[in-house]
Amino acid sequence: MENIMGKEEIEKIGLESERLLYRPWRDEDKDMLFEEAKDEEVGPRAGWKSHKSPEDSLIVIRNTLSEDNTFAIILKDTGKIIGSIGLFPSTVKELSMGEKDLEVGYWIGRGYWGNGYAPEAVRTLLSFAFLNLGAERVWCGAFEGNRNSIRVQEKCNFTFSHTEKAHIAPLDEDKIVHFRVLEKKEWESLQGKNS
């Protein structure tokens, strides 16, 4: 999409929600990232291998998390990084993706599960995608068996689209992925009901 924003623009916008702040990743975040990403229950659910050292985390920050529209999720009250969320061109294979389609990906550290942080973060990025980036549709996938991620998508009003079998390169595994989608017009309709 042509409306991808640079890191400086994001910092100026000051992306935040009720309990969370969102900002581009920085090299100095490597230790906080490692604390959450070393957990064997977190990475494989999101499609990547658990980190083995802070140096691994630094490489991930520089090579993956430094992509445009990828953010550290930070607790406002403590300044602690608890996860990551990002918007990227869609990888959904089953359908012909439009130029204005994005996919949202996210993960939250296990110690923060069950507090509603993931839905809060996804709702914030949906607003950002539709209002700032000009998206017409946002997709989200969840691996077979990842009930927590599916619940997040349901809470954020994504509707089921289809299922694909995909090769997940970082894990070197084939997985079943269930895709859900939210159209801008549906999102706009829900905003009117929630105001």
Q: Which of 180, 127, 133 is nearest to 157 (CA)?
A: 180
pLDDT digits (tens, 9 = 90+) for 137-192: 999 999 999 999 999 999 999 999 999 998 888 888 899 999 999 999 999 999 87
Strands 101-108 and 137-143: parallel
How far is C-alpha 180 from the geometric centre of its chain's CA atoms?
14
d(CA 176, CA 195): 37
12-25 average pLDDT score: 87
* Contacts of 87 by beta carbon, 8 Å cutoff, 6+ apart: 69, 70, 102, 103, 104, 125, 128, 129, 133, 135, 138
Distance spanning both ends of the chain, measured CA to CA: 29
pLDDT at 58 > cutoff 80: yes
Distance CA 150, CA 92 (A): 16
| pLDDT per residue as tens digits for the range 26-47 | 999 999 999 999 999 898 888 8
pTM (2 d.p.): 0.88
In contact, 190 and 156? CB cutoff 8 Å: no
